[in-house]
Structure 1
């Protein structure tokens, strides 16, 4: 695929509805994962991970009741 091909695809992607662009991004991530591409966290995701690690270091863990409440929610 050439740089020109990528540019044409970028123009086409820009015309898609947001939902379709989000779906495309997820698909690209899945393909990348199968080919060993490492996912780079967004700043927001990185902040959430850092907070979770800090909570773990402080010994702050979810209770069994909290875990069960999350696990019983339907997956979408």
Structure 2
């Protein structure tokens, strides 16, 4: 295992279990290991439907709102 991959694994170890599982699935998929499709919760499906409806209506975040969101997360 490369040093970089070891660093990544150590960084992921401290994350919550559900986040670790999500990252493991992504890594396995990138490595060519087939993964079952992700099953959305009813809440996630409703959020996606609401987002698509907003996009259909042309309701998008302003540049200012996007900058504020990035700033909130220190990016």
TM-score (norm 1): 0.54
Q: What is the SS of the residue equivalent to 2:38? A: coil
Aligned residues: 56
- Equivalence for 1:49: 48
Gaps of 5+ in 2: 1-15
CA positional deviation for 1:36 = 3.6
Tell me, in whole angstroms, the C-alpha distance in 2 between the residues paired with 1:59 and 1:69: 20
Gaps of 5+ in 1: 1-18
Matched, 1:29 2:25: yes
- Equivalence for 2:74: 74
Cα root mean square deviation, aligned: 2.3
- Equivalence for 1:40: 39
TM-score (norm 2): 0.54
Q: Give 1 or 2 for the bigger CA radius of gyration.
A: 1
Change (3 A) 1:65 1:31: same
